[in-house]
Amino acid sequence: MKIGIDAKWYFDGPVSAKVLLQNVLDNLIDQKKSDEVILFVKKSDFMRARNHFPDDITIVPIKKFLNNALTNIFIFPFYIFFLKLDVLLCQYYSPLFFKSKTAVYIYDLLWTDYPQYFSLKERFYFDLAIPGLRKAKAVITISQSEYERIEKNISNRKGKLFQFHLGADHFSAVNDVPYQSCFFEPLEKFILCVGRLNDRKNIKVVVDALRMINEEVHLVVVGAKSHQYTSLDSHISDYKLERRIRFLGHISDKELSYLYSKAYVFCFPSFCEGFGLPPLEAMKLGCPVIASNATSMPEICGEAALYFDPNDYRGLADIINEISNENRCELIKKGYDRVEKFNWSKTSKKLLSVLRTEFENK
């Protein structure tokens, strides 16, 4: 079977998309058997890809056509035809033609139900994916929550819809990162939040809750600021919380792993998520998880997390104040058990099965 895969985000792309693509693709290549795999990468990444992937993987450089969406829609049909692909697996946007040979991997459709967290420009750009989702032979998403959102929002969809969870076995514990590489001085007890800083990630509710939490507890926030972010500086200043909050921006995976393993609790307060990998990463590294009860969070975290309404800072403060050594240890144990259910090899195996079942010799 001849499988083409849109791998333009493998080396350089949106953080969550890059993590997904790297882990799914690496495992899929290990499992491919007699399948011929052709990877489409950005022209600037061609030599990097050629040196990275096994020799039996064909690498095709793609010159960007205006943007990622238009490249997929207008350029990929030629490759499907000339390379005689059995299937092309795209990220979000699919070709204008050859829908019977197209599978689309879409991570979420959040902008359709939560437009307030996306700019007009973003919503217009994301909407370019919808025609492809209607006509592609297979659409693959990452959670039951998103499966239901696609069912609800994409009318006249012709292809089959599949969902399977992501993995969490890409993170491992580290012990050799000095505290000072992440902080100016060590902290004894801190709440950790991880994710791009925008209004959807809802860091404000944690700042509000911090006023009602024991003063020995600090807040550490990891993630770069993005648009659609309302500054918290005046908010923090009004509450005189400057000494209790640290914004670290973007840090390395190694440093992040260390923070997960040292945090008192990990808090994921988002208003909406398509999946939500950070809570699983925290569980894997022995950090208790508190998450909002919105969208996919209960589905992903199961009984291994404590939940709160993302609009209720008092409820969040109560949960953190009531955590004892005993229930903290219980959450850690449940987290270890829960995260074992999320495995990249299993995800890739299911994906490969869908591609073979739906497209082989068709």
Q: Which domains does the chain have, with CATH numbers?
A: 2-167+343-359 (3.40.50.2000), 179-339 (3.40.50.2000)
Alpha-helical segments (H) within 211-251: 233-238
Percent of the chain with pLDDT over 90: 79
- Give the pLDDT score at 229: 81
Confidence of residue 173 (pLDDT cuts 50, 70, 90): low
pLDDT in tens, 238-279: 999 999 999 999 888 888 988 998 999 999 999 999 999 999
- DSSP letter assigned to residue 24: H
182 has pLDDT over 90? no
Are β-strands 87-91 and 102-105 bridged in parallel, bridged antiparallel, or unpaired?
A: parallel
Lowest mean pLDDT among 88-102, 161-175, 264-278, 335-349: 161-175
pLDDT in tens, 287-334: 999 999 999 999 999 999 999 999 999 999 999 999 998 899 999 999
SS (H, E, C) 240-285: CCHHHEEEEECCCHHHHHHHHHHCCEEEECCCCCCCCCHHHHHHHC
Number of CB atoms found within 10 A of residue 61's CB: 15
- Give the pLDDT score at 177: 59
**Angstrom distance (rounded) from CA 98 to CA 216:** 60
pLDDT in tens, 198-211: 999 999 999 999 99
Q: Which two tokens stand for residue 128?
A: 């370019």
- Give the pLDDT score at 228: 75
Name the average pLDDT for the chain.
92
- Give the pLDDT score at 84: 96
Which H helix or E strand runs over 347?
helix 344-359
Q: Is the Cβ–Cβ distance between 206 and 269 less than 8 Å?
A: yes
**Across-strand partners of 36?**
2
Q: Which two tokens stand for residue 151?
A: 């069912």
Query: What contacts 24+ positions apart, CB below 8 Å, involve 312-318?
Result: 312/205, 313/205, 313/206, 313/208, 313/209, 313/212, 314/209, 314/212, 316/205, 316/206, 316/209, 316/267, 316/269, 316/290, 317/209, 317/210, 317/211, 317/212, 317/213
What SS3 class is residue 60? strand
Confidence of residue 185 (pLDDT cuts 50, 70, 90): low
Q: Is the Cβ–Cβ distance between 223 and 194 less than 8 Å?
A: yes
DSSP per residue, 114-164 = -GGGS-HHHHHHHHTTHHHHHH-SEEEES-HHHHHHHHHH-TT--SEEEE-
pLDDT in tens, 53-89: 999 999 999 987 778 899 999 999 999 999 999 999 9
Which H helix or E strand runs over 222?
strand 218-222
Confidence of residue 16 (pLDDT cuts 50, 70, 90): confident
**Stronger pLDDT, 16 or 182, i.e. the higher one:** 16
- Give the pLDDT score at 325: 87
Residue 138, burial from CB neighbour count under 10 angstroms (0-12, 13-18, 19+): buried
How many CA atoms lie within 13 Å of 82's alpha carbon, on the beta-carbon side? 6
- Give the pLDDT score at 36: 96
| Maximum C-alpha span of the chain | 66
Q: Give the neighbor-by-neighbor strand order of the sheet with 289-292.
A: 245-249, 218-222, 190-194, 265-268, 289-292, 305-308
Alpha-helical segments (H) within 154-232: 203-210
